[in-house]
Every structure is written in structure tokens, then in C-alpha cells.
Structure 1
Amino acid sequence: MKVIISPAKKMVVNQDDFDVQGMPVYLKQTTVILDALHQLSYDQLKKLWHASDQLTEASYRQLQDIDLYHRLTPAILSFSGIQYQYMAPDLLSEAALTYLQEHLRILSGFYGILKPFDGVAPYRFDMDSRLSIGPAKNMYEFWDDRIYQSLADDQPIINLASQEYAKTVTRFLKLTDRFINITFGHLVDGNIKTRATFAKMARGEMVRFMAEHQVEQISDLKDFDSPNYRFSETDSTADNLVFLRK
């Protein structure tokens, strides 16, 4: 079983809590992306990032100073968005962290795919960034099926990622693959709607639940004990587990 999640735009440097345990498997490809970014002008980067002047200046300095080999932070601690805050990896037991290192994978436009304790440097780059590299017109073409191939032998794949990142896997799925979507929603006039912020919170909580309970079976996910969501048997299918807001 592998669990996939999205990265977060907000990143920090944390070299105090846990040690880096490895390097990203596709670091060679990351250096290619970095070289392409370094060739862009300030104005081109601002357009690529869709960022304000203040954020562009900070991201530009970050890009000029980035070092892929030194002063690295474990990925699970470097990303600090809502999902990661609700995951709270710094409060997990050693057994739970070992579980995450084995089962959790973080998808990334810059690094491709990461284990929780792979060493990363802060960056600003999304999977849907419109950057052409060689014959690849975008990051989906650049990464091609690499991310899928790194997961294909460890099914089922539990999808807690956004569509932007899950697409790096779903576009290559075969009929024999087992890919389980997790939907966190609420009912509006009889229809299930997803609110991004609430979904991010719940995804982080579910990762934490899986780690604390050492989940190995799909059926065990139905026992997710969130104070805000309950499993909906009637709205779920074999490949889409639906949790509705209480």
C-alpha cells in the first residue's frame, strides 16, 4: 500500500527535529528543472509563479540561493501547509514515522516523488507550472510515467492528493491497477461538494490516523475517527471512499 499526497506551497527549513534519511530518487531530473528555471528572467519567473511583487522577490532570492545537497530538511517537515499541520508529524511516535516512511509518498512538480524523510530545499514550483523543457511542453510531459512507475508495484494506491498531482498517476492507470480515491465532502441540495480547506485538514488527519493505527487494509480506512467526518457507505464505491462532514 502507498498513500499519495500533494506538497504545500509554504516551506520551511528545519534541521533540528529529525535527520534526513535519503535523497530524492529523481534528483537528476530536478537539476534539469532547476537549470531551466535559472535561464528565465525575473519577469518570466513572476509570470510562471503568478505571484505578487513581494512574493516574486522572495521566491527569486530563494531560487538563486537554492542548494540541492546541503542544509536540507526532511520533506514531511519542510512542507508546512494546512494538510501538514493537521498531520503533525513532529508529534508522531517512532513507529508511526516508520510507517509513513514506508507507505507515504509526497508528489512534487520539482522533485517528482518524495519519501517523507528525503532531504529537500525550499522551492516554488507547481506540477501545473507552464515550463517547457526540451520536447516536454509542461511538467506532466516532463515527468511522463516516472511517478506512476515508482508506485505501480506497491498497490493499492490510496489517493489523498489534489487532482493537479493525482493526474501524474491516474493518466497511466491500467485496468488491473487498484487506485482508491478518498473524498471529503458535504451535502448541498443532495450533491456532494468539496471545500478545499476542509479537505486539506481531513487529508492530514487521515494520514495521521493511518500512521497511528498502522493501516494496511483498505477496509480499515472506513474507521477513520475524525471529529468532523463520517464514512458514508451509501455514497462510496469500491474505488471511491466518501466521508461526509458531520
Structure 2
Amino acid sequence: MQIIISPARKMTIDVDSLPYRDLPQFLPQAKEILAQLKQLSMAEMKAVWQCSDRLVRINYAKLQAFDLEKNLTPALLAFTGLQYQSMGAGVLDDAGWEYVQKHLRILSGFYGVLRPLDGIVDYRLGMVDDAKINGTPDLYHYWGDRLAKNLYAEGNLVLNLASQEYAKAIRPYVTADQQFVTCVFGELQPNGKVKQKATRAKQARGSMVRYLAENQIQTLEGVKIFNLAGYRYLPDLSQADELVFVNN
């Protein structure tokens, strides 16, 4: 079972807490993306990033100075958004780290697929950012089926804890003999439907990763037992490719 999660916009540099183990598998592609982005002006990069002038100035300076093989932070410690805070990677024991290194993959518009201990820089490039690499219309087309092939090379089951933005980079390439199972986290409404709230869903995804790592979960049956943060599995609302968890 491979587990996929989204990256976070918010990142930190931490070269001291834990050494990185490997360079990213798609480092040649990341270098290709970087080389083409470096050719763009600050105004052109603002169009790519769609962020404030202040953030453009900060990230443009970083972009020009990047060395993708020096001063690297392990990916799971580099991202610091809500999902990663709930995951608590910093307190995982050795068995937990080995579990996530084997089973957890972080999708990335810049790096493609990251293992938790891959060394990365503090970058800014989301899958939906308007980067046209090698003449492709967007990053989805640039990466194509490479990310899905990488994931399914490890087995026929992917547990999707990623946002729709990143799941979209995998879902179109899933074949009939492969499983792509999405976890939905929400609140049960009086009409019987489940409503997801973005902030709580991000936190739940992080809690799910922590649960999987702490309990060394290998199967979907084990996933269904998840009960952190008040969540419980609802079989009546679930399907073969969608597991529904509610917290009320």
C-alpha cells in the first residue's frame, strides 16, 4: 500500500534535526523545471505563482539561488502546513519513520513524487501554478503518467489522502487492475450527506498518516479502524474506492 499526500505551501529549512537519506527520484525533472523557471522575469514568475509582490520578490530570489543538491531538508520535515502539524513527524519513532519511508509519498509540482527522507529545498511551485515546461500547457501535462507509474511500481493499491488538486495528477492514469482509494473526512449532516471542511480535513489526513505509521497498517481493513480526533468509519456511506469517516 502506497499512501499519497499533498505538499504544503508553508515550508521550513531544517538541516539539523534529521539527515536526509536520498535525493528525489525525479531530480533530473526538477532540475529541468528549475532551469526553465530561472529564465523567466520576476513579472513572468508572478503570473506563474499568482501571489503578492512581497512573496514574488522573496521566492524569485530563492529561485535564482537554488542548488538542488545542497542544504537539503528531509521532505516530511520541510512541509509545515496543517496536515504535517497533525502528523507530528518530529515525534515518530524509528519504526514509524521506516513505515512512512516505505509507504508514504508526497506529490509535488516541482519534485514529482517525494519520499519522506528525500532531501529538498524550500521551493514554491504548486501543481496548479501556471508553469509551461517544455511547451506543455501545465504541470499536469508535463508530469503525465510518470507519477502514477512510479506509485504503482510499488504495488496495486494507492490510498489517497491528497487534495483534489494533487489526486488529479494520478487518478486519470489508474488502470482497471489498480486500486485508488480516497479517504473522505467530514461531518454527517441531517440529510444523511457528509460535509467536508477544508481545515479539519487537512488535520484529519495528518492524523490518519500518524495512525497508519504508529500501527504499521498494511491493509484497507486496518485503515477502516482509524479513530483519532473523534473520527469513525461509516461503511454505509463508503464505496470500494472511497472510505468515509465522520467525527460527529
Please confirm whether the aligned pair reaches a TM-score higher than 0.5, indicating the same fold: yes
2:181/2:243 contact within 8 Å kept: yes
DSSP-derived class of the 1:237 partner: coil
Distance 1:185 1:28 in 2: 39
Distance 1:236 1:213 in 2: 22
- Following superposition of structure 1 onto structure 2, how do residues 84-123 of structure 1 map, counting pairs within 5 Å? 84-123=84-123
Distance 1:66 1:57 in 2: 15
2:76/2:116 contact within 8 Å kept: yes
Distance 1:25 1:166 in 2: 19
Give how far 1:12 is off: 0.7
Distance 1:59 1:228 in 2: 39
DSSP-derived class of the 1:164 partner: helix
Gaps of 5+ in 1: none
- Correspondence for 1:126: 126
Distance 1:131 1:17 in 2: 33
- Correspondence for 1:80: 80
Give how far 1:245 is off: 2.1
Distance 2:20 2:213 in 1: 19
Q: CA RMSD in A?
A: 1.0
- Following superposition of structure 1 onto structure 2, how do residues 152-167 of structure 1 map, counting pairs within 5 Å? 152-153=152-153, 154-167=155-168
Distance 2:193 2:231 in 1: 16
Deviations 1:153-203 (A, max 9, x none): 322100000111111110101111111110001133432221111010000
- 1:215 is the counterpart of 2:217: yes
Distance 2:134 2:34 in 1: 13
Distance 1:55 1:228 in 2: 37
Deviations 1:114-163 (A, max 9, x none): 00000000100001111112231110110011100001132210000011
2:207/2:229 contact within 8 Å kept: no
User: Comparing 107-116 with 10-19, which one deviates more in the overlay?
Assistant: 10-19
- Correspondence for 1:174: 175
Residue type of the partner of 1:240?
A: E
Gaps of 5+ in 2: none
- Correspondence for 2:136: 136
Residue type of the partner of 2:186?
A: G
Distance 2:32 2:230 in 1: 43
Residue type of the partner of 2:99?
A: Y
Distance 1:126 1:220 in 2: 31
User: Comparing 45-54 with 5-14, which one deviates more in the overlay?
Assistant: 45-54
User: Comparing 185-194 with 232-241, which one deviates more in the overlay?
Assistant: 185-194
- 1:23 is the counterpart of 2:23: yes
Distance 1:226 1:8 in 2: 22
Percent identity at matched positions? 42
User: Comparing 37-46 with 106-115, which one deviates more in the overlay?
Assistant: 37-46
TM-score (norm 1): 0.97
Distance 1:143 1:109 in 2: 8
Cα–Cα, structure 1 residues 135 and 51, in superposed 2: closer, same or farther, change >3 Å? closer
Give how far 1:78 is off: 0.4
Residue type of the partner of 2:166?
A: Y
Residue type of the partner of 2:142?
A: F
TM-score (norm 2): 0.96
DSSP-derived class of the 1:227 partner: helix
2:217/2:223 contact within 8 Å kept: yes
